[in-house]
Chain A
Amino acid sequence: MASKKIHAIYTDDDLLMQAVKQTRAANYHISEVFTPFPVHGLDHAVGLAPTRIAITSFLYGLTGLSVAVLMLNYIMIEDWPQNIGGKPSFTFYQNMPAFIPVMFELTVFFAAHLMVITFYMRSKLWPFKKAENPDLRTTDDHFLMEVDAENHDVEKLTKFLYDTGASEISLIENEQDH
């Protein structure tokens, strides 16, 4: 798919924030921003929806807790109840004080690992994945804003971006969508 994008490079986070706000106010569409570190409030300024990854973590945690309860109940109460140190093994709740630690650990185990895996999958991060930042300096001290130029006058847009404080601007044409 052919597309026209403009890459504007900024050298400061405050400048970038200001530029993002101005660009959005001027009704240009920012398709992506690459930054070397998390810029506070940038996601909001770009207009991203809040992430729901914390909610998934909560659900994974509940899953972990359920797995723990089912496992403990099956192993310790149903399948082979034993008198161990006189701990009551007739029902789950009577034996529960001894089960709390494992229930807690499995809750955390599931919540943490599955959330991180979700994050890696959603953000497409895994070994041998090719990096996609268009400019190497965006992991160092440069900030790159990618603006859609498809339906805009490139000259005007370029001028506009210069005015927002960009230090370099390049036009990317026919770039393949990832």
Chain B
Amino acid sequence: MYTLPSKLKLFSIIIMVLGLAGITYGFLTAPKTIEDVKEIMAEQDAHHGGEHAVEAHGEEEHTANFVDVARGEEGYSEAAMEHATDLKPEGHGSASHEEHVLHQLQTRPWSATFVAAFFFLMIALGVLVFYAIQYASQAGWSPVLYRIMEGITTYLLPGSIIVFLIVVFAGTHFFPWQNEELVAGDKILQGKSGYLNFPFFVIRAVIYLLGWNLYRHFSRKNSLAQADANNYDPYRKNFKLSVFFLIFFIVTEATMSWDWFMSMTPHWYSTLFPWYVFASMFVSAITVIALVTIYLKSRGLIPFVSDKHLHDLAKYMFAFSIFWTYLWFSQFMLIWYANIPEEVTYFIIRIQEYKLLFFGMLILNFVFPILVLMNSDYKRVPWFVVIAAVFILVGHYVDIFLLVMPSTVGHNWYFGIPEIAALLFFMGLFIFVVGTGLGKVSLRPKNDPFIKESENYHF
């Protein structure tokens, strides 16, 4: 039995409070009017001096030229950028530019909160999927980890509620297709309105979140019932439930990623997108399972988990890091290669405005995990796995950041108080909820049909 140590509890509460304060600060200090924006821009100019602005401009010119050269078309990339961002309120004059910046600056605290909120929700959701896969595939190695996974998925419910509130209330901050004026002047968006409309959007969000949480509720119930049962009925129920959940999930995950991410740039589409989001979710989730396992093991609470289980988790981290890279490359390369204007905008803005993050993420998510976890002996060394885990988690936070920020705040991004505060708040909440969730029952899933195989297994 695990109890959240009071120090850790205090720590999580403190960072939650700090985070909440930071988030509030972010919302309160967001500019309210165009006058504020002008002030900010003037201040920025004064601060950095004209030189910097010129330099920045020159930089942009350079990358723009790069795209133009590649395409053999003068001024193409600028047009493309225009296209990418003109989904925001109309107009091309200087006044509307400021309006545009105002909108993006007002969006920033929303985006910052959403990135962190979704990041932790997707960890809980990914763990839930991993858990369902273990049941559905009748895995023999992992039952010793069932209680740990269930503990992490405790976060699913609070996480879902917060994310639901954000996506419903973010409105045009995130989803330009909710701007009726814009849709009225845009034929393509009118064509999509059968899917992209607010009531249907809310209904869908309710369906996914309800479905996922129901599975979590009933699977946990059955899993606990199995511990006291003298037959395998609860286990068999869970097996069936898991299969149906996975079918439900593979569909709802796709629509979820279209709704909450792809529709931030409603003209842009990529068929691979949902699976790309899934890869990020899954690898982060397995990483967190490994981290929690290492933590509990270090406190001596799970003697039945051996380094072989850690080895297996590390293998999954390794394999799914490669899988994520595979999907990243497939999506990137195909769009890069075909170079179709309405598609490349997605990458152009990410490469031009977020270059360091965009390519840095590849190093964090691919190169480091590969190098650290390649050797099979290192997969059994806890601190090695922890190092890889930190790389992976930071990398996938950046990945979610890059899904949201370029589409919502464009080049007006910065990693400042709102982002850090949101991260702190949700991390605190996650630690608090998961720590409490782990503590309710014995960590050893007694009576599971595969528990002995899991404890004894060798390879």
Physical contact A–B (CB less than 8 Å): yes
* A→B interface (CB under 8 Å): 40-41, 54, 58, 83, 85-88, 90, 94, 97-98, 100
Pairwise interchain contact B333-A86, C-beta atoms closer than 8 A: no
Q: Which of B66, B69, B333, B374 contacts A58 (CB 8 A)?
A: B374
> Which of B72, B337, B374, B376 gathers the greatest number of chain A CB atoms within 10 Å?
B337
Q: Which residues of B contact A86 (CB under 8 A)?
A: 70-72, 339
CB of B198 closer than 8 Å to a CB of A: no
Taking A54-B376, A85-B337, A97-B336 as given, write out 20 further A-B residue pairs in contact, using a Cβ cutoff of 8 Å, ordered by the A residue number: A40-B458, A41-B458, A58-B374, A83-B72, A86-B71, A86-B72, A87-B70, A87-B337, A88-B66, A88-B69, A88-B70, A90-B69, A94-B66, A94-B70, A97-B329, A97-B332, A97-B333, A97-B337, A98-B333, A98-B337
Interface string of B38-50 (1 = CB under 8 A from A): 0000000000000
How far is B376's CA from A58's CA once the two chains are assembled, in angstroms?
12
Q: How far is the CB of A42 from chain B (nearest CB, A)?
A: 13
Chain A residues lying within 8 Å of B337, measured Cβ to Cβ, are 85, 87, 97-98
Whether A100 touches B70, Cβ cut-off 8 Å, given contacts A40-B458, A58-B374, A86-B339, is: no
B359–chain A nearest beta-carbon distance, Å: 10
Instruction: Tell me, in angstroms, the Cα distance from A97 to B325 when the chains sit together.
Output: 13
- Which 5 A-B residue pairings sit nearest by Cβ, starting from the closest? A88-B70, A97-B333, A97-B336, A86-B72, A86-B71
| Residues 36 to 71 of chain B near chain A (Cβ within 8 Å) | 66, 69-71
Interface flags for B369-380 (1: CB within 8 Å of A; 0: not) read 000001010000
Using CB atoms, name the residue of chain B closest to A88: B70
Task: Give complex CA distance A41, B459 in Å.
Answer: 9
A153 → chain B, closest Cβ, in Å?
37
Q: Which of B333, B339, B374, B376 contacts A100 (CB 8 A)?
A: B333
B329 CB contact (under 8 Å) in A88, A94, A100: A100
What are 27 A-B pairs at a CB distance below 8 A? A40-B458, A41-B458, A54-B376, A58-B374, A83-B72, A85-B337, A86-B70, A86-B71, A86-B72, A86-B339, A87-B70, A87-B337, A88-B66, A88-B69, A88-B70, A90-B69, A94-B66, A94-B70, A97-B329, A97-B332, A97-B333, A97-B336, A97-B337, A98-B333, A98-B337, A100-B329, A100-B333
Q: How far is the CA of A98 from the CA of B337 in the complex (A)?
A: 8
CB distance from B156 to the nearest CB of A (A): 37
The count of A-to-B residue pairs whose CB atoms sit within 8 angstroms is 27
**Residue in B closest to A83 when the chains form the complex, CB atoms:** B72
Count residues of B near A (Cβ-Cβ below 8 Å).
Answer: 14
The 8 A CB mask of B353-388 against A (1 = contact, 0 = none) is 000000000000000000000101000000000000
Rounded to whole Å, the gap between the CB of B251 and the closest CB of chain A is 31
- The smallest C-beta distance from A14 to any residue of chain B, in angstroms, reads 14
Bound Cα distance A88, B458 (Å): 51
Report the minimal beta-carbon distance from B279 to chain A, rounded to whole angstroms: 17
Distance of A100 Cα from B332 Cα, bound (Å)? 12
Query: Shortest CB–CB separation between residue A27 and chain B, in angstroms?
Result: 28
B329 contacts which chain A residues (CB < 8 A)? Answer: 97, 100
A40 to B457, CA, bound (A): 12
Give B316 Cβ to nearest chain A Cβ, in Å: 19
What CA separation (Å) do A88 and B72 show in the bound complex?
10
CB proximity of B356 to chain A, nearest CB, Å: 16
Q: In the complex, which residue of chain A has the Cβ closest to the Cβ of B67?
A: A88
Chain B residues within an 8 Å CB radius of A88 = 66, 69-70
CB-defined contacts of A41 to chain B, threshold 8 Å: 458
Q: Looking at the assembled complex, report how far the CB atom of A75 sits from the nearest CB atom of chain B, in whole angstroms.
A: 19
Bound: A41/B332 CA distance, A: 45
B458 / chain A contacts, CB cutoff of 8 Å: 40-41
Cα A54 to Cα B329 with chains together (Å): 27
Report chain A residues within 8 Å CB of B374: 58
Closest chain-A Cβ to B54's Cβ sits at a distance in Å of 26
List residues of chain A with CB within 8 A of the CB of B70: 86-88, 94
**How many angstroms between the C-alpha atoms of A90 and B72 in the bound complex?**
13
Instruction: Note all chain A residues with C-beta closer than 8 A to B333.
Output: 97-98, 100
Bound-complex Cα distance A87 to B72 (A) = 10
Taking CB as reference atom, which chain A residue is nearest B69? Answer: A88
Closest-CB distance, B355 to chain A (whole angstroms) = 13
- Chain B 331-348 near chain A by CB (<8 Å), digits 1 or 0: 011001101000000000
Query: In the assembled complex, which residues on chain B have CB atoms less than 8 Å from the CB atom of A54?
Result: 376
Q: In the complex, what residues of B have CB within 8 A of residue A97's CB?
A: 329, 332-333, 336-337
Give Cα distance in the complex from A94 to B333, angstroms. Answer: 12
> For residue A50, which residue of chain B has the nearest CB?
B377
Residue of A nearest to B73 (CB): A86
Q: Which residues of B contact A83 (CB under 8 A)?
A: 72
CA separation between A169 and B81, bound complex, in Å? Answer: 83
CB distance from B365 to the nearest CB of A (A): 16
Smallest CB gap from B329: residue in A: A100
